Amino acid sequence: MSNKFFFRSALTSTILSYLLIFVGGLVRVSGSGLGCPDWPKCFGRWVPPTSIEQIPAHIDSTAFNIVLAWIEYGNRTLGVIVGISILLMSVIALIYFRKNNKILFSSLLSLFLVISNGGLGAIVVSSILNPFIVSLHMILALFLVSVLSYTTIESYKIIDTNKFTNMYLSKKISTSLILLWIFIVIEILLGTGIRTNIELIAIDNPLFTKGELLSSLNSYKYLHSILGFSLLFLSIYLCYLFRDDFLGLSKQLVLFIFGMIMFQIFLGELMIFFELPQLTRLFHTWGSSWLVGIIIILYNTLQYE
């Protein structure tokens, strides 16, 4: 009973964390990062104001935008919910899995990461969206979903061990998956850097069109595309390595990774062709974050030969 209870807790925390990444992306593309100029309150209130009259006199009312304020407040509220869910998961791990080092350590590590990233969120606001702090905020979010994905699959293996028999992890597969995870994290950070640079250029050149902003980027923007196609070739190689698995769980995960990378490349080209539509940017980042967790899950469904 405790095994299933913990698995559901870990799965819930993972899903909520991915939802938080989505909402965080929504904050970024909508420009809501300073929708609440203070932290942890929003315009000096625990619940965002609905009119200028509710803003305290010591806070500049010209910064108030009800839509941006509530988007940012929603992001913070969901962050608290994620923190509580991971705290509960960690308590369950401490009670029932003190002898299972994998589950106990990963649960406590996820708790440390969510607390650290919550504190970093406050620094993001106080630094007025410093691009380096924003990037670090994203890195910790990717590490968090990676650890949670690991915790979830490890707890599921306890419930149903039969599903993971006859799945082997060769050196080629292990190396390929590790490289794929590292490259995807770098790819996401490159994309974050490109977006940050576009925003900085836009501040200095407010009359530039989105196409002109893209053209103003340094040549390193091409590295993002080159790495994207490298990921595609690496995923094709993984499909080849899993060619004998037929319709097993591991093969399904590999095909999902391949399909998602193809979809992300399509979205990337769509962003250039249509000059960075906001919804495309949002799903481009969020879809990439799925890959980080799926690779961790795939790696841990396999057994060493």
Of 101, 129, 159, which one is at a domain's C-terminal end?
159
User: Which tens digits make up the pLDDT trace of 75-94?
Assistant: 899 999 999 999 999 999 99
Q: Are residues 15 and 145 in the same domain?
A: yes
The Cα 110–Cα 112 span in angstroms is 5
Q: Are residues 134 and 220 in the same domain?
A: no
Q: Are residues 146 and 168 in the same domain?
A: no
Of 124, 159, 194, which one is at a domain's C-terminal end?
159
User: Which tens digits make up the pLDDT trace of 93-123?
Assistant: 999 998 899 999 999 999 999 999 988 888 8
- Ranges of the chain with pLDDT below 50: none
List the domain range (segments joined by +) for residue 68: 1-159
Of 117, 139, 159, which one is at a domain's C-terminal end?
159
Domain total in the chain: 2
Q: Are residues 121 and 231 in the same domain?
A: no
Q: Are residues 218 and 178 in the same domain?
A: yes
Give the tokens for residue 274: 């249509």
Q: Are residues 233 and 153 in the same domain?
A: no
Q: Are residues 17 and 114 in the same domain?
A: yes
What pTM was estimated for this model as a whole? 0.86
Q: Are residues 96 and 177 in the same domain?
A: no
Give the tokens for residue 264: 């992300």
Q: Are residues 169 and 111 in the same domain?
A: no
Bridge partners of residue 207, in order along the sequence:
none
Q: Are residues 99 and 195 in the same domain?
A: no
Q: Cα angle at 208 between 214 and 71, to 5 degrees?
A: 80
Q: Are residues 145 and 253 in the same domain?
A: no
Give the tokens for residue 246: 């037929």
